[in-house]
Amino acid sequence: MEFSKMYFLGVGGIGMSALARYFVHEGKKVAGYDRTPSALTSALEREGVGMTYEDSVDTIPDEFKKPSDTMVVYTPALPSDHRQLNFFRSGGFEVVKRSQMLGVVSRGKYVMAVAGTHGKTTTTTMTAWFDHEAGGGGSAFLGGISKNFDSNLVLGPGDRLAVEADEFDRSFLQLRPDVAVVTAADADHLDIYGTHEAVREAFSDFIARIVPGGTLILRRGVDLAVRNEDLRVYRYAFDAPADFHAERVRVLDDGRHTFDLVCPDRVIRDCTLGIPGRINVENCIAAAAMLWVAGFDEEKLRGAMASFAGVRRRFDFYINTPRRIYMDDYAHHPDELRAAIGSVRGMFPGRRLTVVFQPHLYTRTRDFYREFASALSESDEVLLLPIYPAREEPIEGVCSDMLLPLISVPAQIVEKERLLEEVTRKNPELLVTFGAGDIDRFCEPIAERLSRLP
């Protein structure tokens, strides 16, 4: 690439930060804007990325104001009136979306893409770890921070590239996968797509971009149009009959699972996944299927499953003792929430489950408040935080209170400044915090408070 400098708008996002790190590694001068400081932006600054948190042309470093040597990458989550974005657009700069840049970077690679309205971050991270340990290496762009790699960017030998294929703004249509997993195609991002049918059509368009002779691994029960003429299609499931599934599933005392992995040509016996949760076993099966297609060492794959440490904010344990359990999870769609609560119930039967949930986006809350209430009703008690707006302006009449009358277990609204006090007062034996907003900033304080309770 002829540009010596890269400027990222929304650089603190998980996908954008991975690209920024990639270009730092490639020797480019990198800087960027994000709305608020975070642990991730602090890490980027330590790694050499110049940061600004004010949407002003004046805060753009002078060395990044020449279109001849600076390329600009932006997230579509930015508002259309963003001052820095409009400065670059009107100034003759080459300005591309994050998805377009990821498409460029992935050219010439053996692309292993994971798409789906939920489960894709964990499945992609498993694929990257399994490939690293049992597939000979490879690189990855991840949608979360891998605990094994301590990063959302993996740079390794070989041409294999694991990528999270994001359906937001149809970003995944920039990729040309050699092998792709689709975990789910539920109604989501209706502010972008309008209807569930449009979401499903976008996933079919993604499938159509798999290269001729490539492979699709589709979760059992996901019904999508497959228009490719030259494509191998496999199904996966947890323990139902499918090309890839688990048999002889046993739950260990700490919530982890041991199982036999059934593949089309073999059975890999006595696998133990390093993290707990039934849903994670299903994600593991999908990731292992990707390795089966690309090629792998069977014994090393078994070891990679056992050593997989998970993803931050995905079934992330802060306290796990016989007396008390506290974990945090990114679930922000009703189906994710229901699956996660079900997994927690299966891991810790008989425990009273208290859930803290922060709804994410006004539009998602408006579209799914009934479904959210139904999923939350599968817990024993619910604390609801106000909606995290992210990129959106408030919608009149849309608020967390909409869920309360529909939740069938004890539930209450809690303002963020009172959350620590209320959790301490509840003294829960099994607590899970859910949400894709800024609820994660409470995790350490909650854990610290709970660890001091008798």
How many domains in the chain?
A: 3
- Is pTM beyond 0.85? Reply is no
Q: How far is CA 449 from CA 48, 218, 318, 320, 442, in A?
A: 35, 43, 12, 14, 11
Residue at which a domain ends, from 307, 335, 352: 307
Q: Which of 200-214, 319-333, 412-426 has the lowest mean pLDDT?
A: 319-333
Q: Looking at residue 167, what is its pLDDT?
A: 87
The CATH number assigned to the domain holding 181 equals 3.40.1190.10
Do the beta carbons of residue 87 and residue 244 sit within 8 Å? no
Residues 321 and 426 in one domain: yes
Residues 154 and 292 in one domain: yes
Three-state SS for 90? Answer: helix
Nearest CA to 252 among 352, 347, 126, 351? 347
Residues 328 and 277 in one domain: no
Residues 299 and 158 in one domain: yes
In this prediction, residue 1 has a pLDDT band, given cuts at 50, 70 and 90, of: low
Tens of pLDDT, residue by residue over 246-277, are: 999 998 887 789 999 999 999 999 999 999 88
What six digits make up the tokens of 451? 């660890």
Residues 323 and 197 in one domain: no
Q: How many helices (H) and strands (E) does the chain have?
A: 13, 21
Residues 262 and 118 in one domain: yes
Is residue 169 predicted with pLDDT exceeding 80?
A: no
Residues 59 and 112 in one domain: no
CA dihedral 197, 407, 278, 15 (to 10 degrees): 60
Residue at which a domain ends, from 46, 76, 99: 99
Residues 128 and 274 in one domain: yes
The CATH number assigned to the domain holding 440 equals 3.90.190.20
Residues 351 and 444 in one domain: yes
Q: Looking at residue 347, what is its pLDDT?
A: 84
The CATH number assigned to the domain holding 40 equals 3.40.50.720
Q: What angle do CA 191, 192, 197 make, to 5 degrees?
A: 100
Residues 294 and 149 in one domain: yes
Q: Which of 6-15, 139-148, 189-198, 342-351 has the lowest mean pLDDT?
A: 189-198
Spatial distance between the Cα atoms of 166 and 343, rounded to a whole number of angstroms: 24
Residues 140 and 289 in one domain: yes
Is residue 203 predicted with pLDDT exceeding 60?
A: yes
Q: Looking at residue 39, what is its pLDDT?
A: 84
Residues 325 and 426 in one domain: yes
Residue at which a domain ends, from 79, 99, 119: 99
Q: How far is CA 389 from CA 7, 315, 366, 399, in A?
A: 25, 23, 12, 10
Please compute, for residue 194, the number of CA atoms within 13 A of its CA located in the half-sphere on the CB side.
4
Range of the domain at 33: 5-99
Residue type, 43: A
Q: What is the mean pLDDT of the chain?
A: 93
